[in-house]
Structure 1
Amino acid sequence: MYKTKVQVLQERFHNIDFASLSKENMTDVTESDSKEILKNLWDKSMSVALIDKNGELLGKRSNADTPRDDNDGDDDSKEVTERKIEAIPVPILSKEEYINLFNEQGNLEHVFEIVKDKNNNSQLVVCRKIGDLDSPVGLIQLSTSIDDIDAILNREVYMHTSISILILIIGTILGLGLFKRTLKPLYNITDTVEGINVTDLDKRLPEENGQLEIDRLAKSFNIMFERIESSFQKEQYIKEKMRRFVSDASHELRTPLTSIHGFVEVLLRGAAKNEQQLDLALNSILTESERLTKLVNDLLALTRLEQNPVVEINKENINNIIQEVFPQLQILSKDMLLQLELKDDVIVYINKDQIKQVIFNITQNAVLHTDKKNGIIVISTAIEKFKDETFGVLRISDNGTGITEKHLSKIYDRFFRSDVHRSREQGGYGLGLSIVKSIIDSNHGEIRVESEVGVGTIFSVYLKMENNSSY
């Protein structure tokens, strides 16, 4: 808008012959010549002034001035007075400012200033040099009021300020509503999380809140709660298992220790002098100490197996291992029928000594739960597909009492016995199958059990037929 005003003022300079003015010295211009120049430039919407090279005012004319040849002495004095009252005075710059304009490069066609006149009104001022551009002899100054521009700008500022305030108010209202809608689910999540304790680990956050990020956050919290709940339940299970283990171990250790202590007291009271009583007491102490030693050794074996030791795995024929332990198994089974059904050359990758212990423990467990006279125990081998892999299978079955369905998941627990009295009479502590399970795991195999009460039990041990260095 300012540039448009500048262009209008610059157009007025086209009414002046600057070529003829450049040949004259401004100090020699007569008053009539000055008035003629001012008359040619003057317009009702602007004012004009002539400045000499010293920055002094030579002449001026504003919209308050009326040319004499236009009046003819017949003007209404009241109208002239009104125009003078409404007139805007010619803005006069300081000498220093005019001298600075003389020193500017070019004819000042792109230079303008906004100044305050004596009535404190804003005016736009442009100037043009007279004479040589490098050594001008004077300046012609044109100025016009910019109150209309100021009014437009003020109106624009007012309008934009009002719109900005309105947008701010609307934005605040919408923002508060949006924040409330966004933060409410977060507050609900916070309240739920803060209210969860050990007894409320099964609580879950709603995952359908209508907001993608909030839903993802709620889902992440629920996954975390599930892991915490699972870990807590696992910890509780381990604690309960440890408590039962300590209780069972204490009970099992107490029985032989009590027997040994009792027989020692009997000997101290004089039974040592009786050869028959002495022999009975010493044999009983020896038997109980052997049971105690076996229990401690089994516990130590379980502890070592649970520490994931490095097991030496070799290529072995499972049939040869069975044949090696078969004489011991016959002694163990006594009057029971012990049968072998072996498939030719079942080659597996195992630790030979550990698998011997597996065969002995499972067979011993079968002997303990099978009739002493009519019992039949079958040891067989085969090659079968299991979980999309080929395994060598060691299978030991009996026609004993069987295991109830509710006990099948507990048979590998320490000190677990489905028939407590019989096991204790035969010297069992419920550790044999726990050791078997740990050995099979360390050999990277699998063990499965099938049983029916009154029919019998089948243990199937699946052993790797291919070596894998990553095991």
Structure 2
Amino acid sequence: MSRLKDKLKVKSLKWQILLGFLIILVILLVTMGIFQYISMKEYLYEDKRQVLQQRFHNLDFNKLSKENLDTITKTEAMEVLNKVASKNIRASLINKNGELAYSNSERIIKKDDNDGDEDYKEIDEKKLQKLKVPIISKYEYISIYNQSGNLEHMYKVVQDEDNNYQMVAWIKVGELSSPSGLIQISTPIQDIMDILARQFYVDISLSIFILIIGAIMGTAIFNRTLKPLYRITNTVEGIKVTDLDTRLEEKNGQLEVDRLAKSFNIMLSRIEESFEKEQLIKEKMRRFVSDASHELRTPLTSIHGFVEVLLRGAAKSKDQLDLALNSILMESERLTKLVNDLLILTRLDQKPIIEIKKEDINGLIQEIQPQLKVLCQNRKLHLDLRDDICAIINKDQIKQVIFNLVQNAVLHTDKDKGSIIIAADLERIENQKFAVLKISDNGTGIPEKDIKKIYDRFFRSETHRSREHGGYGLGLSIVKAIIDSNNGKIKVESQLEVGTSFTVYLKTEN
């Protein structure tokens, strides 16, 4: 369990940011510490080097003018070396072969030679012996000897025999072009090492302290910064199917979090819309299955009933036989029409690719005019057609639209006083030209509350549910599906006891 918590903590955004922050802080502190350490080291070394260089000004170069330092006497050499030596500084003569000629390591130091004691005093020779003269290899001495210039800025840190660090500086003796040797002075730098060690420990302590403070403050700041994100997380986790109308606060004072909240709200809106559509589709499907079952059961029940009548002996009577057979035929035709309409709607739901091209609307209406007159029976049929009206359509489908709309008008108008008008015209809407097909009647009209439902499958208003009007409520559903597949639009206007007008808008250009 603890491993799982540790794993989740590592994957947490807060801990990843905090870890990154601490890593950057460590890098900065290490970089600053190294820079400060190097700067201080160079500064202290340079200060010590200048002290050594000042010692060279006490030299008497006239006594060192011989071509070879090997010929100089010990007394002469020590007299020169004592000028630059002190209790913390040792001086040596190096010949041009890179060998140590003389050193003042055994000398008793006087006040004018030391580093500032108030009185003359002698130094115990044992203490003097503790300060060893650092010796480097012949190769290194010869390399220094062959360098150009007087070696004023040159120094080196080496270890003596006791592994103590000392700073060593050199100056050439004689002509710079052909010197007779080198004078080497050295001094211990343990004081510098101690200062640098103290500074190192101080830097480490301060860095640890800064890291602890940074971790505490970083955690507090990140908790505060990520608080809106936690709030969004808690809100989203608590949203259920019944809470899809919940929205997140979009003004949190943080641009990124505000954008995230806005994106979540957009997503929630889409989910809510999709869920409502799904619920609506489910309800429509439930109602469709219920209505389809009811509509299928009605003719099947009639057919079943008449078959039973015939089986009981009604077939012996010619009148009863004719009535039963005619009823069975009528109900089977109704059943066939219902199944065909359902098949048409199913194909249209699958959005098949249909062939559309430019067709003459007037010619199309005139082709089916005889069938329309038969359909209207005693009702008056008026054609109000404008010349040269073309649209990009599927001809057969638009014919079916006209049949369905006219049949719908026939069902809701008086047999003798009914009047149906089919008009065709051109109309420009939003800089686009449309062919307009309008079918109007003087029937019973559609209640305002039912206007939005008329394209639903099996929908029939309460006033039109009698068998006298026939139909299953699929005609207008087919019309709407066909118009959509032809990239058109349909609009309805109706007034009770006055009449209804369906207006179809069809594109004249692709």
TM-score range, shorter chain: 0.7 to 0.9
Closer, same or farther: CA 88–362 of 1 in aligned 2, 3 Å: farther
- Bigger shift: residues 164-173 or 442-451: 164-173
Partner of 1:327: 370
Say if 2:87 and 2:109, in contact at 8 Å, map to a contact too: no
For 1:298, give the aligned amino acid. D
Would you say how many aligned residue pairs link Structure 1 and Structure 2? Answer: 458
Deviation at 1:359, TM superposition (A): 1.2
Partner of 2:468: 425
Partner of 2:425: 382
Match 1:235 to one of 261, 278, 289? 278
SS at match of 1:229: helix
Q: Supply the distance in 2 between the matched residues of 1:293 and 1:266 (Cα, whole angstroms).
A: 22
Q: Residues 65-464 of structure 1: matches in 2 within 5 Å? A: 65-66=109-110, 80=121, 89-93=130-134, 97-106=136-145, 109=151, 110-115=154-159, 122-128=165-171, 139-150=182-193, 152-154=195-197, 156-157=199-200, 160-161=203-204, 163-419=206-462, 422=465, 424-464=467-507
Say if 1:185 and 1:214, in contact at 8 Å, map to a contact too: yes
SS at match of 1:416: coil
- Bigger shift: residues 292-301 or 303-312: 303-312
Q: Supply the distance in 1 between the matched residues of 2:158 and 2:215 (Cα, whole angstroms).
A: 40
For 1:447, give the aligned amino acid. I
SS at match of 1:311: coil
Deviation at 1:92, TM superposition (A): 2.2
Name stretches of at least 5 consecutive residues in structure 2 with no aligned partner. 1-42
The Cα offsets for residues 71-94 of structure 1, whole Å up to 9 and x where unpaired, read as 9xxx99x96268989979533235
SS at match of 1:414: coil
Closer, same or farther: CA 395–18 of 1 in aligned 2, 3 Å: farther
SS at match of 1:409: helix
Say if 1:366 and 1:398, in contact at 8 Å, map to a contact too: yes
Are 1:59 and 2:100 matched, yes or no? no
Q: Supply the distance in 2 between the matched residues of 1:359 and 1:281 (Cα, whole angstroms).
A: 34
Partner of 2:16: none
Say if 2:105 and 2:129, in contact at 8 Å, map to a contact too: no
Deviation at 1:19, TM superposition (A): 9.2
The alignment's C-alpha RMSD in Å is 3.4
Say if 1:245 and 1:414, in contact at 8 Å, map to a contact too: yes
Closer, same or farther: CA 22–230 of 1 in aligned 2, 3 Å: farther
Match 1:47 to one of 90, 94, 99? 90
The Cα offsets for residues 222-257 of structure 1, whole Å up to 9 and x where unpaired, read as 111111222222122112111111111111111111
SS at match of 1:381: strand
Say if 1:91 and 1:115, in contact at 8 Å, map to a contact too: no
Deviation at 1:171, TM superposition (A): 2.6
Name stretches of at least 5 consecutive residues in structure 1 with no aligned partner. none
Deviation at 1:140, TM superposition (A): 3.0
What is the TM-score with the length of structure 2 in the denominator?
Answer: 0.80
Q: Supply the distance in 2 between the matched residues of 1:22 and 1:236 (Cα, whole angstroms).
A: 114
Q: Supply the distance in 2 between the matched residues of 1:304 and 1:174 (Cα, whole angstroms).
A: 67
For 2:366, give the aligned amino acid. Q
Say if 2:422 and 2:440, in contact at 8 Å, map to a contact too: yes
What is the TM-score with the length of structure 1 in the denominator?
Answer: 0.86
Closer, same or farther: CA 203–176 of 1 in aligned 2, 3 Å: same
Deviation at 1:291, TM superposition (A): 0.6
SS at match of 2:467: helix
Closer, same or farther: CA 62–443 of 1 in aligned 2, 3 Å: farther
Q: Supply the distance in 2 between the matched residues of 1:148 and 1:460 (Cα, whole angstroms).
A: 104
Q: Supply the distance in 2 between the matched residues of 1:195 and 1:417 (Cα, whole angstroms).
A: 42
The Cα offsets for residues 116-147 of structure 1, whole Å up to 9 and x where unpaired, read as 686x8643222456689999986532122435
